[in-house]
Every structure is written in structure tokens, then in C-alpha cells.
């Protein structure tokens, strides 16, 4: 065989064997005497006789740019696990991204399991609990000078009203200092 078979030519041009048979029947292919296809001459004849509007072009695969945040997240995940991290601007390989994805999935499963076991609570619930406990603590301290002033005044031999006033002043100053402390649950 001097040239290509129908199957070989179909693979060469990216068409089906049926399409090649139709082109052969329409005499748009150049054949050798043994019936095999002359690929170079057939490509040229097909280009001349085929309407460009009816050709199927392979779809252009446009790769979307990967956001820097995603690349940074991959690097952070790999770094947390003690794995090799790509150099800045060096690009992340598919294997590194896949590894980071698997690590994140494992971490997510671990967190979900801890939550099911009751080892983790939701952030909003924790914030509400801390807020409620802080409020109860503040209320207890605000009421303490009224309860303790008389006893302390008797021990020191001073006026109970003056003692309560001094205690309230110092307790409120201390509570104002404590109010500046904000829990950070990040």
C-alpha cells in the first residue's frame, strides 16, 4: 500500500471514517492506483473544495487564569502539612494542587467528625456563650461593692457609704479595662 487507509487518513485529519468515505465518493480525495489515499494531495484538494463555513474546527480551549488567592491557598495548605511549596511566581503544578485538595478534604472530614463527636461547637454558639458568661461576671462584680462595703467598713472602722462609693469607683474602672478585651475566634 503506497498511501494511507481510510481509517489512517480519518485519524490523520480528525474525521470519522464515514466522512472519509463520503469525501472519497465525491472525489475530493486523491487516490493511488492501489486505492490507498495520498494524504498530502488529498489534504490540498479537500482544502480547495471544502466550504470553510461548513468545517468543524476543534473548540479552542481557553484556560481560565487561576486567581492568586487560590494559588496562595494551595501553598498555605502544603506549607501547613510540611510539603514542598512552589516558589513565588513559579506556578503550582497539578500534582501540588491535587495534593492540597486531598489534604483539605481530609481536614474537612476530620472537622466534620469532631463536630459529630461533640468536640467542636459552632462559632456563633461559642460567641453567645462567652458573651453571656462575661455579662454574668460583670453583673456579679457590679453588685459586689454593695454586699461587701458594710463588712469592710466595719473591719476598717470607716463609714459604710463612703466605703461602698470607693469600691464601686474602683470596680467600675477595672470593669472598663476588662471591657477592652475582645475574644478572637479566628
- Angle, helices 6-13 vs 39-49, to 10°: value is 60
Q: At which residue does the C-alpha cell 486523491 appear?
A: 30
Neighbours of 37 (CB within 10 A): 25
Q: How do residues 128-165 score in pLDDT, each as one tens digit?
A: 888 899 899 989 999 999 889 999 999 999 999 999 99
Rounded CA-CA distance 164/144 in Å is: 9
pLDDT number for residue 111 = 87
CB 92 within 8 A of CB 71: yes
Q: Which grid cell sits at 93?
A: 503544578
Residue spans of the domains in the chain: they are 6-54, 68-117, 123-179
Global confidence as pTM: 0.39
Report the pLDDT averaged over residues 106-126.
86
Q: How confident is the model at residue 59 (pLDDT cuts 50, 70, 90)?
A: low
Q: Provide the greatest CA pair distance for the chain.
A: 129
Q: In the beta sheet, which residues pair with residue 31?
A: 37
Rounded CA-CA distance 34/139 in Å is: 103
Amino acid at each position: 500500500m503506497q498511501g494511507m487507509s481510510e481509517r489512517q487518513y480519518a485519524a490523520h485529519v480528525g474525521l470519522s471514517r464515514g466522512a472519509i468515505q463520503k469525501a472519497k465518493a465525491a472525489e475530493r480525495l486523491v487516490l493511488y492506483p492501489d486505492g490507498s489515499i495520498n494524504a498530502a494531495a488529498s489534504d490540498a484538494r479537500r482544502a480547495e473544495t471544502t466550504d470553510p463555513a461548513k468545517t468543524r474546527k476543534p473548540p479552542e480551549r481557553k484556560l481560565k487564569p487561576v486567581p492568586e488567592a487560590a494559588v496562595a491557598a494551595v501553598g498555605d495548605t502544603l506549607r501547613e502539612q510540611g510539603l514542598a511549596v512552589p516558589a513565588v511566581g513559579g506556578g503550582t503544578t497539578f500534582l501540588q494542587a491535587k495534593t492540597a485538595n486531598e489534604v483539605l478534604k481530609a481536614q474537612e472530614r476530620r472537622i466534620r467528625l469532631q463536630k459529630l463527636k461533640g468536640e467542636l461547637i459552632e462559632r456563633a454558639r461559642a460567641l453567645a456563650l462567652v458573651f453571656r458568661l462575661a455579662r454574668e461576671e460583670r453583673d456579679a462584680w457590679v453588685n459586689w461593692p454593695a454586699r461587701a462595703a458594710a463588712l469592710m467598713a466595719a473591719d476598717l472602722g470607716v463609714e459604710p457609704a463612703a466605703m461602698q462609693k470607693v469600691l464601686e469607683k474602683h470596680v467600675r474602672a477595672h470593669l472598663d479595662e476588662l471591657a477592652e478585651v475582645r475574644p478572637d475566634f479566628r
